[in-house]
Amino acid sequence: MHLFSLICGWLGAYLGHTTFRHKSSKMEFKSVYWVTVVLNIGGLVRLPKDKAILLFDNALVQFLNG
């Protein structure tokens, strides 16, 4: 699950973990999870603006197309 959250699945991992209470009481899991969130956001911030927008647009299109 940490691997998925590291490759930008952290929002889905968060929703699943809060909705289904999966590993919600495990402090070690939550700590590693939040590290992956920070790494993802840090990576997106460092991208040039045009590439970040393109990446977001592509992800949104894939999400909407299922």
pLDDT at 8: 61
5: pLDDT strictly greater than 80: no
CA distances (Å), 31 to each of 20, 35, 56, in order? 18, 6, 26
Mean of the pLDDT values across residues 29-34?
81
Give the closest residue to 7 by CA, choosing from 44, 51, 50: 44
Predicted TM-score (pTM) of the model is: 0.50
Q: Where are the domains of the chain?
A: 2-65
